[in-house]
Amino acid sequence: MEQMNELVQYVMESAAEHELWAPHDTIVVAVSGGPDSVALLRILHEISVNRTHLNLICAHVNHGFRAESQEEAEFVRALADELGIPFELAEFDIPSIVKKSGLGPEGAAREKRYQFLIETAKRHGARAVALAHHADDQAETVLMRLLRGSGPSGLAGMRWKRTEKKVELIRPFLRINKTALIGLCQSEGFAYAMDASNLLMKYKRNAVRLEVLPMLEKYNPKVKQSLLQLSEIAGAEDEFMEANALKCFEELVLFEHGKYTFKRASFAAVPSALQRRLIKLILNYLSADSQTLDFSKIEAVRRGTLQEHPTVWSLDLGGGLICVRQYDTILFSSKPPQQQVSYTYRLSLPDSRLELWEIGKAMTMTVLERESFALQGEDSGKMSAWFDSDELVLPLTVRSRLPGDTIRVMGLNGSKKVKDIYIDDKIPSSERSRIPLVCDGSGNIVWIPGVRRSMHAAVGRHTASVLLLTLEELEKSRET
């Protein structure tokens, strides 16, 4: 019981420091059945009974990944019943969702899990959802973000609490390591489940935990502690810088008619660290997708603002946002909606080149006999596509997108809407009208350059000749 008391006291101190809850709050506890989440439910239950009254809801998600998933759900249900805590269960077929959504298994599972937890919290009028992320998880998160190239905000790692859809996500265990949590379960005789998928190297986090961190520990046995210290320092400094960026925004930025502007001279007087944060803050206010706010775009705006010449320019920032310099004024706004470009062209042999003036592109078509080409693998991300010329129904039509367009993608049963593919690939709506569609003589979409090709006329070992389609910039194609 001594270890339980120590951890309870530690969690209580962390909760007070970070204002994770108040007496009589309702908290949804996410419980997978593993030692971390079992320890979380047990400790919060102990707090609610003997320290601070809390109304707990036990929530479990069955992702449908493994044969043991149903058994784990029943185990968590029994645990909640033992403690007299209401139980909520969600069951998802994540493998099927992955096939339909195009998301990875980890991403799909996380999205559905958080959606259920937040909905459960709202249904019960709960202030927060408690998650069992611990110090080891934090070290892994910081390392993964460091490898990805994150800035100070990312290196702060997971926060003690953050708000998502008006519900707080709280992490009371961020300073407690996994060894202590497993030790609590073993010393107190708390049963828990073991997830074998935690050992699968196909998951990036598992690879970091099982390969990268042990390798780094050969050079620094306290590397996890160092990463945790980095997250603490980065988090505190990030909060300080964000507060200063907000103050800077209030002093320098003018908002009128949906546009944010500031003067070049006042911006130049601000330290470069605040300049970057100020730009990012403005773009966040314009509802920019955080995944599109990479360093290069923010730096292009910053350097373009500081340079003396040219004094007039325009930068497309993606996601329908634009930054314009008008002499000494820098302006950020949403781009005016572009009129949908509409065009239809016919492409058939012996014609080999088609100029698409509406989008500044050119489509070329080449037929190669088997002995004169090196068979290459299909690559959906390239601006070239190979087809079996004997199987492809001619003439081809190159046209703009139409409402309801669908394509039969390789590896996918049935058809998928072109619009959904653009959304899955995070292609900005402002760029979609510039992507042509290639249809065969039967009206089937066979290729979306740079995005997908269809299953029609696939090149195989029995292919006698290949029809190669290539989309190029119009000026480049003229030179060739």
pLDDT in tens, 300-313: 999 999 998 888 88
pTM score of the predicted model: 0.65
Residues 91 and 109: their CA atoms lie apart, in Å, by 11
Neighbours of 395 (CB within 10 A): 12
Task: Please enumerate in sequence order all residues whose Cβ is within 8 A of that of 87, keeping only pairs 6 or more positions apart, or say none.
Answer: 57, 58, 59, 60, 76, 77, 80, 81
**Tens-digit pLDDT profile for residues 200-210:** 566 688 889 99
> For residue 19, what is the DSSP state?
T
- Domain end among 334, 355, 384: 334
Say if residue 95 is in the same domain as residue 178.
Answer: yes
pLDDT over threshold 70, residue 260: yes
Whether residue 238 is contained in a domain is answered as no
Quote the DSSP letter at residue 291.
G
Interatomic CA distance for residues 30 and 114, integer angstroms: 10
Residues 222 and 183 reside in one and the same domain: yes
DSSP letter string, 59-86: EEEE-S-STTHHHHHHHHHHHHHHHT--
Tell whether the model's pLDDT for residue 1 goes beyond 70.
yes
Residue 374 pLDDT > 60, yes or no?
A: no
Q: 453: phi > 0 → left, psi -120 to 50 → alpha, else beta; which? A: beta
Q: According to the model, what pLDDT value does residue 377 have? A: 47
Q: Is residue 196 part of a domain?
A: yes
Q: Which residue has the tokens 């068979």?
A: 375
pLDDT at 140 over 80: yes
Give the count of beta carbons closer than 10 Å to the beta carbon of residue 322: 19
pLDDT average, residue stretch 378-386: 69
Looking at the structure, tell me whether residues 296 and 394 fall in a common domain.
no
Asked if residue 43 is part of any domain, the answer here is yes
| Residues 352-361 pLDDT 10s | 888 888 888 8
Confidence at residue 380, expressed as pLDDT on a 0 to 100 scale: 44
Q: 281 lies in a domain?
A: yes
- Residues 65/72, Cβ–Cβ less than 8 Å: no
Q: Which domain-ending residue is among 306, 334, 362?
A: 334
- State which H helix or E strand residue 303 sits in: helix 295-306
Task: Please state whether beta strands 361-369 and 465-473 pair in parallel, antiparallel, or not at all (unpaired).
Answer: antiparallel
**pLDDT in the model for residue 35:** 96
Q: Does residue 241 belong to any structural domain of this protein?
A: no
Per-residue pLDDT band for 413 (boundaries 50, 70, 90) equals confident
Residues 359 and 279 in one domain: no
Please, what is the Cα angle at 94 between 107 and 134, to 5 degrees? 50
Lowest-confidence segment of 38-52, 58-72, 397-411 by average pLDDT: 58-72
Is 32 known to sit in a ligand binding site? yes
Is residue 46 situated within a structural domain? yes
Locate 229 and state its tokens.
């210290």
Domain count, the chain: 3
Q: Of the segments 193-197, 327-331, 422-426, which one has the largest average pLDDT value?
A: 327-331
* Same domain as 364, residue 295: no
Q: Examine the pLDDT at 92 and tell me if it is beyond 80.
A: yes
DSSP string, 413-465: SS-EEHHHHHHHTT--HHHHTTS-EEE-TTS-EEEETTTEEBSTT---TT-SE
pLDDT tens digits, one per residue of 263-273: 999 999 999 99
Residue 390's CB is within 10 A of a number of other CB atoms, namely: 12
Is the separation of the CB atoms in 153 and 142 below 8 Å?
no
pLDDT of 479 reads 47
What does DSSP say about strands 437-439 and 396-399: parallel, antiparallel, or unpaired? Answer: antiparallel
CATH number for the domain spanning 262: value is 3.30.465.60
Partner residues linked to 361 by β-bridges: 356, 473
Amino acid at 51: R
pLDDT band at 103 (very low <50, low <70, confident <90, very high): low
Boundary-marking domain end, from 334, 360, 387: 334
- Sheet arrangement for strand 396-399: 344-347, 396-399, 437-439, 445-448, 452-453
Q: Are residues 32 and 119 in the same domain?
A: yes
What gap in Å lies between CA 467 and CA 390, rounded to an integer?
Answer: 9
Do 76 and 124 have their domain in common?
A: yes
Q: Which residues fall within 8 angstroms of residue 74, CB to CB, at 6 or more apart?
A: none
pLDDT value of residue 221: 96
Is 192 within a domain? Answer: yes
Amino acid letter, residue 59: A
For the chain, the straight-line distance linking the first and the last C-alpha, in angstroms and rounded, comes to 79
For residue 118, is it left (φ>0), alpha (ψ between -120 and 50) or beta?
A: alpha
State which residues form the domain around 275: 253-334
175/312 same-domain check: no
What backbone torsions phi and psi does residue 80 show, to the nearest 5 degrees? Answer: -60, -40
At 367, list the tokens: 């037929």
Q: Are 128 and 208 contained in the same domain?
A: yes
User: How many CA atoms are closer than 13 Å to the CA of 472, on its beta-carbon side?
Assistant: 15
Residues 429 and 314 in one domain: no
User: Which residue shows structure tokens 């959802």?
Assistant: 129
37 assigned ligand-binding residue: yes
Q: Which residues pair with 367 in a beta bridge?
A: 467
Query: Do 22 and 119 lie in a common domain?
Result: yes
Asked if 403 and 318 sit in the same domain, the reply is no
Is residue 340 predicted with pLDDT exceeding 70? no
Is 36 assigned a ligand-binding role in the annotation?
yes
- pLDDT one-digit tens code per residue, 201-254: 666 888 899 999 999 999 999 999 999 999 999 999 999 999 999 999 999 999
d(CA 63, CA 203): 16
Q: What is the CATH number of the domain that holds 112?
A: 3.40.50.620
Q: Is 13 exposed, middle or buried (0-12, 13-18, 19+ CB in 10 A)?
A: exposed
| Residue 35 annotated as part of some ligand binding site | yes
**Three-class SS of residue 128?**
strand
Pick the closest to residue 190 from 317, 55, 335, 39 (CA basis). 39
Average pLDDT, the chain: 88
Q: Considering the domain boundaries, does residue 384 fall inside one?
A: yes
DSSP state string for 331-372:
EEEEPPPPPPP--EEEE-TT--EEEETTTTEEEEEEEEEGGG
